Structure 1
Amino acid sequence: MQEMSPTVPGFTNPKVLGLLYSVVVQFQPKTCVEIGSFMGRSASVISLALAALGGGRRLICVDLFDTKVDQNFVQLPLIREIMKYAESSKGQYCDLTRISTIGDCFDLTTERFPHMLENVTKIQCDSASDWNSGRDTFDFSYIDGDHTYEAVKRDALSVMRYANAGHCMVFDDYSTQFPGVVRFVEELKSHQA
């Protein structure tokens, strides 16, 4: 379970990470995409599952990796709260002599978890842009970007353009706290019925 709960700052709790790992291992996708990768907490777990499966599997991570990290950022109450997940590695993610963007934090995670070096590609892009340009098709996606209805819909529809038959799409934060996620997922389910 320790590997299911990596010492990486992020919003995804250990139980969800364990579930995410299990879904990826059970589904056995070849190519995955994660919309909203932040510092790489969930990406490290998806990547670990892909490494366990073997066979040249890939994870494409899409986020605004150029978001600035400065003293004001690391002092935000929400950021201070998620740093608890980093445990003894917290200092590395707050070292402003080395870290200046979210992408730098993601790269630090990649360096710390070598399995990510083999199967993760980072794309700095707003998910509203054509981040894929038709290069890849996907078997699995994890939608964890902006949680407004409009953004969740945009992210899911952009992934669906490149989805293989039998694609598995997982949404983060399906709860009353995030009505945009719930609304879109319920609409999607009603179209599938």
Structure 2
Amino acid sequence: MATAPYGVRLLVGVAATAVEETMKLPQTIMMYPMTLVSSVAQLVMKMQQDVADLVIKGDSTLENLFPPRDEQPEWATFDEDLESTSADEIPDTGERMTEGRFALYSVTENTEGWVTETATPLATTANAAAAGIVGEIDYDALTLAQLRARLQSLSVSDLEELLGYEEATKARAPFQTLLANRITRATAK
């Protein structure tokens, strides 16, 4: 078979490519808006990077020309500026901190003059609940997402026990809300 001259082969190749591109035209036209948007977004991001580079260069030049002062405003106080007391300097009176919201024990003096420690209701409630469903599902180690995944398998009484435990111990609002909402949905069924 004889080969066609180079010019003819070139024209046939151009014609075949034109036909192929014409057949792809409906799909290509659909892609033009997205291509245009992505090109514009790329251009804008490149301009932002260039502007940021210029600002950084300007900052370093200004810092070289006008060095910053190491002054501290009179209203600013920092921990390093205050006189620090180490744990060794704090006098140890031997007393436990037994007042306030986070106290685990109450210290009372009975009639014989003996000092007795009793667990606060908060600690008692938390310890009692830990033996039930709290310990069974290792509630203290659960994240909010893990708890949400386990809610479907828990009964209403288990949910109420968890809610009581949460209120008695950590009182985390997202956990309380999640448990209360689940109790409401479960009892409405």
- Asked if TM exceeds 0.5, the reply is no
What is the TM-score with the length of structure 1 in the denominator? 0.22
Structure whose residues are more often strand by fraction? 1
The structure with the largest alpha-carbon Rg is: 2
Higher relative contact order (CA closer than 8 Å, sequence separation 6+): 1
Structure with the larger helix share: 2
